[in-house]
Amino acid sequence: MARPPSANSVLRNMKKQTPEPKTPIASEMFIPNHSGIAVHPEAVNTFVKKTDLLNNAYWQGHQDISSGITYSNMNASTTTWQTRISFDETEAENWTETSGELEYTGNFPASGVRKFLVTYSFLGEFYASQTWTTCFFRVTKDTGGGHAEVLGSLNGHNPIAYVYVFGVYVMRAIVSGAVIVSIESGDKLALQYGFYNSADSGTYNVGNFATTLIGSPSVDTGINMNITPADTTP
């Protein structure tokens, strides 16, 4: 068994150690640097700079529908999807939007794939000619062969709550969703909404689809979409 070091040996080794430089916070008072601020003396020539970070990238858009839209003669028992939503861009870096299609323009890691968290929300109203009518939203991705639904992004409102007025069913819909999407160069994202009626057959109509709320003329919550990176390093 190895002989334990002597007291003199321990003291000699302690004298050889370089004390950690401190940033004074008061007279003879110091605090370790846990802030990550590289200019502090205890961090100079110590922190390793990260040089392979991926581009910062985010996007936010909003769309108001103040004039109600009507959709007529939709077939029951199937979801009728409408044209993808074109947004008013409010914040963007390394993402562009053209006619409702969103494309990432930043760099890619060696794998050629980045991951983003896509969230959306909708609060609005519409009336339907038949009960059990649901408003759905989904995120779609086009990899070159047309837009297809991103699995896990579909969500819809509860059709049970409604008010029957003048022969139609008035519904207030609250829909939100979130999904992580893998993006490669050239891929495009979009947000789309549609309607579904659970009747076995026949057609139905939806009217006054809007983001303004009855009884609250100053409220226009709109349709909102956000994209934030789910990765920061390759």
Side chain identity at residue 105, one-letter code: T
| Same structural domain, 45 and 125 | no
Q: Are residues 40 and 137 in the same domain?
A: no
Residues 98 and 181 in one domain: yes
Tally the domains of the chain: 2
- Which range of 25-34, 112-121, 159-168 scores highest in mean pLDDT? It is 112-121
Q: Are residues 36 and 82 in the same domain?
A: no
**Does residue 149 form part of some domain?**
yes
Rounded CA-CA distance 126/62 in Å is: 19
Q: Which range marks the domain in which residue 133 is found?
A: 58-229
Q: How far apart are CA 89 and CA 35, in angstroms?
A: 34
Coil vs helix vs strand at 163:
strand
Same domain, 25 and 74: no
- The mean per-residue pLDDT over the stretch 63-68 comes to 87
Q: What contacts 28, CB < 8 A, 6 or more positions away? A: none
184 within a domain of the structure (yes/no): yes
Checking if the pLDDT of 217 tops 60, the result is no
What CATH number does residue 181 fall under? 2.60.120
In this structure, the answer to whether residues 2 and 99 fall within a common structural domain is: no
Residues 144 and 96 in one domain: yes
Q: Is residue 192 part of a domain?
A: yes
Using the predicted structure, report yes or no on whether residue 140 has a pLDDT greater than 60: yes
Residues 70, 44, single domain; the answer is no
93 and 188, same domain (yes or no): yes
Task: Summarize pLDDT for 108-121 with one digit per residue, the tens.
Answer: 988 999 999 999 99
SS3 category, 13: helix
- Examine residue 234 and state whether it is found in any structural domain, yes or no: no
